[in-house]
Structure 1
């Protein structure tokens, strides 16, 4: 919601309406239950009758900010109401010193002497534990210098490509082979790539192989040449340089309080969508669009529209300040946004600091 719209909606509410709306939302974020007029009348500092409060609630409902889940129930915020609350009322606090020290210690411990994959996995696990939601980290394929590649035949039409970068990361991918590929051709393709990849990034290797195309044709037969190109594609991870890794920890946190099969299926559908390339691109796009933390509530993003989940996401950057990934928390719409936003923000800052 843009600031002009927020200001316009704020002006349409008097002080009493704002206070009652705030109480309804805070009760929902805390308990997940509707708040009725009698409970509100007991909580308000000024004396208001339940009938007066019901009139205010009716006005809030007319504005699309609250709704009654069933007849004679209290009110709960709509997704639009939650967004309005987050933009207009919520005060984002700072992390407690203890939480800040805990994040710093865990990120540093997981990053020292370990692979980037390990550090990101630990960050995802940490966010899940601290938020009681699902911790999510999206890692794009970094342009690191390569060191070695080897093809190991598993079946007549399948091989394992073992790829090693100079920073010590090892990646194994199963590769489809053309019919008739021999072990000697696999060895020949490995030797050719290893003669040209050392110290070069993937982009540099592709440029070099292209330059040496005539030499490649002379040095290798057609099958081996095809393997060289397949090997480069495997390292890239996906066509067009799509993001390469999605790490999600704490999925059970999203499922443990869900009793209805329909809701369970929707959350499972969300995770299926996340693991598609399109879903990964959407996530990275969400993070890249803003400098800091961004909040998406329910249907505000089509990736989450079916599951009704919320996402708090922030980008992390490399030493050149380029966005190379995103991390965040997925949870129900009643996430404790005021606590989770600074948590995600500080974790992203710490990951960026470790990558400099």
Structure 2
């Protein structure tokens, strides 16, 4: 049992109500909540002094914080986590939100990339936050691989997939490569490629090269390793991160320091190549997951929250994720069903398209 869960279980009804009302008030307005405000809304008649004592106890437990000497209280990151885990009331998806998402995704574009672009725009528009969409890798079996020399220091690797999809990328081949070494490299790969996806081929190639090191020319071997490494490294990742709604998130923060933190977050997102960690986060649990502040290292500087959910293909394999980024003062109860519904809808569309 986590510390926050233990503390929550040990709290009495009055402490839980004060805590819930402080957090809900903060999420609604963004302002600290004072004891006099709470006194007017408590279910039992208590004095402001009694409420202040309870708030002090909650502050001592690390659940609330006092941003100014004479101000009310706001929840800490630990307090928000406890609220999300134990007290959050998730509403049903609003009919208008559902219609906006359905309309955006149902525009009939057969291109998955275009559809996911629209997912990002829809999430950003509906939530008035910033959206994050992790596009799936192309995992169809490969039919054929070819290396094409363009210059002494430039070559092209072409991958033809069994479903007709074609991808290619420029790379720098090893020095001294010849037409014969390029043919040998392609023949070596095509002899083992049938029925394998790119990730499976990369594993097979590593094993085969170590076993057949004497059979394949050194130059061709380097060409194979360089060409395929291109698809395995950060630059060659098939995963694509789509971030929409930067202006929404910037507009939600007023202080210059907060603005700079948000800019830092988005600069990091836009430069980030190793984006697979979002899938790893999503894979750690089914359904929607909520990361608050420093619980996700990428958002620790900006103090933002991430609400994210994986989506699956027809084989029930997680292939991507959708989410919403916002300040810690998010309307979690509304955002969670939106993200959950969008992830399920994207998974269905991905499955229907094969």
Query: Structure 2 length normalisation: TM-score?
Result: 0.80
Aligned to 1:315: 310
Aligned to 1:138: 134
1:26 aligns with 2:27: no
| Secondary structure in 2 matching 1:329 | strand
| Secondary structure in 2 matching 1:129 | helix
After superposition, residues 211-290 of structure 1 pair within 5 angstroms as 223=219, 226-238=222-234, 244-271=239-266, 273-274=268-269, 276=272, 280-290=275-285
Is contact 1:293-1:315 (8 Å) kept?
A: yes
| Secondary structure in 2 matching 1:70 | coil
The one of 110, 113, 124 equivalent to 1:113 is: 110
C-alpha deviation, 1:323, in angstroms: 1.7
1:83 and 1:139 mapped to 2: Cα distance? 28
Aligned to 1:58: 56
**CA 1:193–1:268 in structure 2 vs 1: closer, same or farther (change >3 Å)?**
farther
| Secondary structure in 2 matching 1:230 | helix
Greater mean deviation of Cα atoms: 267-276 or 333-342: 267-276
2:148 and 2:73 mapped to 1: Cα distance? 62
C-alpha deviation, 1:178, in angstroms: 3.1
**CA 1:125–1:172 in structure 2 vs 1: closer, same or farther (change >3 Å)?**
farther
2:52 and 2:229 mapped to 1: Cα distance? 63
1:59 and 1:124 mapped to 2: Cα distance? 42
Aligned to 1:176: 172
Computed over aligned residues only, the root mean square deviation of the Cα atoms, in angstroms, reads: 3.7
Count of residue pairs brought into register by the alignment: 348
**CA 1:235–1:281 in structure 2 vs 1: closer, same or farther (change >3 Å)?**
closer
Is contact 1:163-1:170 (8 Å) kept?
A: yes
**CA 1:193–1:74 in structure 2 vs 1: closer, same or farther (change >3 Å)?**
same
Is contact 2:145-2:190 (8 Å) kept?
A: no
Aligned to 2:13: 14
1:146 and 1:222 mapped to 2: Cα distance? 24
Is contact 1:149-1:190 (8 Å) kept?
A: no
Which ranges of structure 1 fall in alignment gaps of 5 or more residues?
A: none
**CA 1:7–1:221 in structure 2 vs 1: closer, same or farther (change >3 Å)?**
closer
**CA 1:170–1:134 in structure 2 vs 1: closer, same or farther (change >3 Å)?**
farther
